[in-house]
A and B are shown apart, each in its own frame.
Chain A
Amino acid sequence: MLAVMGTAANRVDNGVQLQFDAVSFSAPGGTKLLHRVDLSVDRGAVTVLAGPSGAGKSTLLRLGNRLEVPSEGLVRFKGTDLTALDPQQVRRSVGMIFQRPIPFPGSVRSNLAVADASATDSAFVAVLRRVGLDPTMLDRVADDLSGGEAQRMCIARTLLTQPEVILMDEPTSSLDPENRIGIEDLARELAHEGIGVIWVSHDLSQVQRIADRIEVLIDGRNATPVETLGYLDQETEGEP
């Protein structure tokens, strides 16, 4: 586990793209889901957000994509408070991949056109190749794709908005091991291209494969160093 964190430190490129400063968030009923969480996402690095279920990881990602607004604290994109920026532009710059692939009704082409209606077929072909999909599948019905294909298509759709950060909320949780590794490799390639990636995961072996940095959330707050070690050790002991 320490080796993972050490490797992370060596691989991180400087340049914070997205920063959460003492962010708190309460659900509509008043339940506090996040308590003064700090997190920074560096350019060209994969930051893994780990922690038990209900720790607030997905909520934190939604704040980054501006699907929610913090009740306290700030989320900054390249140093500017997100609420001071055009929300639509923020969402194009900070893309989001959800836990389950969410194909829209229609063909793969029409799915990609939702992200960029003015893009040509050659742009679609290029982005499909970038995510490892066969470009001939443009006319396939999106609902007929396998889980792995559908998730890659969702990533392709997001890449068409030319994001500088991608938030990935357990993107491989519904995929088989082969597709899981494929999506992990893709995330690493995207980071290599300079995109900042946040990846939510429960799976420590996956964390070890992809993380440049690890941040653990427990009960909606940043885990202390001792809690982080305890959580990761516990997860390691649970590994088969």
Chain B
Amino acid sequence: MSDTQIGWMGVTASLMLVAIAIGLSLWRQLHLTRSLLWSSARAAVQLLLVGFALRLVLDSKASVWWAWLWVVVMIVFAGFTIRSRAKEVPGILLLGTISMLTVVVVSLSVIFGFHIFPMQGRTIVPLAGMMIGNSMTACVLVGRRIVGELSDKRDEVESRLALGLSWSDASQPYVRSALRTALVPQIESTKAVGLVFLPGAMTGLVLAGVDAVNAVTVQLAIMYLILGSVATSVTVMGIGLTRQMFSSDHRMKPIARASH
């Protein structure tokens, strides 16, 4: 066993930290004991299942198509997750799924087209996972924000429509504000990286014994990938959702107010 393989004993020992969290919850009467136990157990089961499945997919002898199938499942699952987090956004399931698909196609085309990483199961699955994971949150944020902005500013939007503006021109200031809101956290986190926190991929590589500078170059590529992915996904979601909120003759459809 190498010094980065912690084994079942290591995992069991790390449960001490969950026990500390439970102890704190009991001491301060936070009533979070069941949630802590359930989330820890659920994470263990989910990750173990994923680990065994990944072992099959990432096997060097396995066909790369298994990895692509994995990505398709992730995209569909992300679509449903986005819908569950922003039910008030009309047509969010389809829009979310299309956004994730676009992100994967665009970003992986760059990554593999320019040979930044080799196209193998062990790169396809984690890279797609990171892109989808980060983009999913941004998509939910931008979807809710656009619905909120357009319903709050309906008078202004209709005033612009009444002047003969198209749906895209009439909604532009509000959609722009929503897109900025969704992108700023990612930009801020990109700026703070290395100073405030060490990102996960780099930490993982360093723990696995990779040279720190090599780990940094991998992390940089991943961060740029995530930044591009988030920008792509919120743009696709923003344009698609806004289009959906107007009729073909540039009238604003009735919309439910987003609950926050």
List residues of chain A with CB under 8 Å of any chain B CB: 28, 65-69, 83, 87-89, 91-92, 95-96, 98, 100, 102, 104-105, 114-115, 154, 157-158, 161
Contacts and interface: CB of A to CB of B under 8 A. Distances in A.
User: Looking at chain B, what size class is its interface with the partner chain?
Assistant: 10 to 19
A67 B155 contact: no
Interface string B138-181: 00000000000000000110111111111000000100000000
Given A28-B254, A66-B251, A67-B251, A91 B162 contact: yes
Given A28-B254, A66-B251, A87-B249, A104 B164 contact: no
B250 interface: yes
A158 B163 contact: yes
Interface string B211-237: 000000000000000000000000000
A95 B162 contact: yes
A126 to B, nearest CB: 18
A92 B163 contact: yes
A102 B249 contact: no
Contacts, number: 54
Contact of A66 (B160, B249, B254): B249
Contacts of A92: 163-164
A157 B173 contact: no
Contacts of B250: 87-88
A96 B250 CA distance: 15
A119 to B, nearest CB: 12
Interface in B120-140: none
Given A91-B163, A98-B162, 10 more contacts: A67-B158, A67-B251, A87-B249, A91-B162, A95-B163, A98-B155, A104-B156, A105-B173, A158-B162, A161-B164
A92 B250 CA distance: 13
22 contacts: A28-B254, A66-B251, A67-B158, A67-B161, A67-B251, A69-B251, A83-B249, A87-B251, A88-B164, A91-B161, A91-B164, A92-B163, A92-B164, A95-B163, A96-B162, A102-B155, A104-B173, A105-B173, A115-B163, A115-B164, A154-B159, A161-B163
